[in-house]
Amino acid sequence: MNVYPSPFQVAELALAVPIVVGSLFSLVAVSHALVWLHWPRARPAAEFLPPVSVLKPLFGADKNLHENLRSMCLQDYPNYQVVLAVQRMDDPAIPAARAIVREFGESRVSLCISNTPPRANGKVENLVAAFPAARHDVLVISDSDIRVEADYLRTIVAPLADAKVGAACTLYRGACARRFVEKLELLSFNVDFLPELIVARAVGLTNACLGASTAIRRETLQSIGGFAALVDYLAEDAEMGRRIGAKGLRNALLPVFVDTMIDLPNWKAWWQHQTYWDQNARYVQFAGFLALPLLKAVPFALLFAALRQFDAMGLGVFAAVLAIRFASAAAFLVLGAKDRAGLRSLALLPLRDIASIAPWLSALFLTHFTRREAKFAVTRDGRIIGRES
């Protein structure tokens, strides 16, 4: 009698690991994220409303750029300025930026233009250029594709009243997805990224700031070397969070959302952005990055069904995995992210899960990254070492 498992049985057992792990993780991550988002929190005893300088790095004419910038200039906040920064004299973002300056005045909005093409992390280089124009000691970093509500500054600045908080950041969810690839990206943001981030912070896998929406004191920024110290890092927000933590300060994550406008014109843009995000995950937490495929039950359930030639058991396992995936995703979209558009795109989730394996494999081996159509070399520890021609 042959007591050893056959190759077929070994393959089934190997596929069962990510199927079980991925399905359980979907349920646990969403459950934890929903509890964390809705957990009652004490309100500050008094409002903390220091003057604020908002730094917005711009590059290109992002989707709905004018509306995004305008939302930051309509804050219910007593004293703040907005600094817009671009790196090219002919940047397509400049007309929208100038229109905002005209509408709200130079006392509210400043425009900094530096004719220096990105040589490393272009966003941070933009922030370096914007920093001298910042008049106040509380700084808010807000990406160009972010749109906010009128109470945004009151919300994100409030945790800095605690001297033990080094930085505060909000969650951000994908919005305004119209094209097919944009809907896939929205699901990546709102179904996977958000609950995974909340769980990763809960178990101590990451202490990163979220660079798209962060508030920090000037003195804290300067104590970690300022923006210039972050310019050579691919994941500058992770490095910022690490340095703040090393100072004995806490990075506060707020259970509120801002919207990031998803703008992907084609499959090439989707591929580049997915690979870029996976590379960020690789350099922020390599062990977590390696574990990501184990959290994707759908592709492995499909392989399991195919291995069994789509018999009753194979199809039953695949159907069960899909049911868990759809149910957990729908629960988070409705109760967590408050994203009805994502709910309407939920049927695309299995395709998104299967397609996401390829960029992950690419990120595992790539020694360069592409951002804003420019290619940069990157070291194994996530440092940018130069722009490639």
85 shares a domain with 228 = yes
pTM (2 d.p.): 0.91
Residues 269 and 297 in one domain: no
Given a cut of 60, whether residue 389 has pLDDT beyond it is: no
- Does residue 44 lie within any of the structural domains? no
**Do residues 105 and 226 share a domain?**
yes
Residue 387, pLDDT score: 61
> Of 248, 280, 312, at which residue does a domain stop?
280
Classify residue 104: in a domain, yes or no. yes
In a domain, 103, yes or no: yes
Same domain, 275 and 288: no
3 has pLDDT over 70: no
Between these two residues, 253 and 6, which has the higher pLDDT value? Answer: 253
Indicate whether 59 and 83 sit together in one domain. Answer: yes
User: For residue 301, what pLDDT is reported?
Assistant: 96
Report whether 28 contacts 306 (CB < 8 A): no
CA-CA distance, 184 to 187, in Å (whole number)? 5
Specify the higher pLDDT residue, 143 or 12.
143
**Does residue 305 lie within any of the structural domains?**
yes
257/330 same-domain check: no
Asked if residue 45 belongs to a domain, the reply is no
Same domain, 106 and 248: yes
Question: Greater confidence, 182 or 367?
Answer: 182
Query: In whole numbers, what is the pLDDT of the chain averaged over residues?
Result: 91
pLDDT digits (tens, 9 = 90+) for 103-121: 999 999 999 998 877 778 8
Give the pLDDT mean for 292-314: 93
- Domain's final residue, options 245, 280, 315: 280
- As for how many domains the chain has, the answer is 2
Is residue 323 in a domain?
Answer: yes
In a domain, 22, yes or no: yes
Residue 345 has pLDDT above 90, yes or no: yes
The domain of 176 spans 52-280
Do 269 and 306 fall within a single domain?
no
Percentage of the chain with pLDDT > 90? 71
What pLDDT sits at residue 372?
Answer: 66
Handedness of CA 28, 29, 33, 34 (dihedral sign): negative
Which residues does the annotation mark as catalytic? Answer: 237
What is the mean pLDDT of the segment spanning 220-249?
Answer: 93
What pLDDT, on a 0 to 100 scale, did the predictor assign at position 45? 61
Contact between residue 376 and residue 275 where contact means Cβ atoms under 8 Å apart: no
Contact 117, 371 (CB under 8 A): no
- Is 189's pLDDT higher than 80? yes
CATH number for the domain spanning 156: value is 3.90.550.10
Residues 76 and 216 in one domain: yes
Q: Do 167 and 269 belong to one domain? A: yes
Domain finish residue from 250, 280, 310: 280
Give yes or no: residues 238 and 332 share one domain.
Answer: no
The answer to whether residue 388 scores a pLDDT higher than 80 is no
1, part of any domain? no
At residue 34 the predicted structure's pLDDT band, cuts being 50, 70 and 90, is very high
- Same domain for 93 and 213: yes
How far is Cα 134 from Cα 112, in angstroms, rounded to an integer? 11
Spatial distance between the Cα atoms of 170 and 115, rounded to a whole number of angstroms: 31
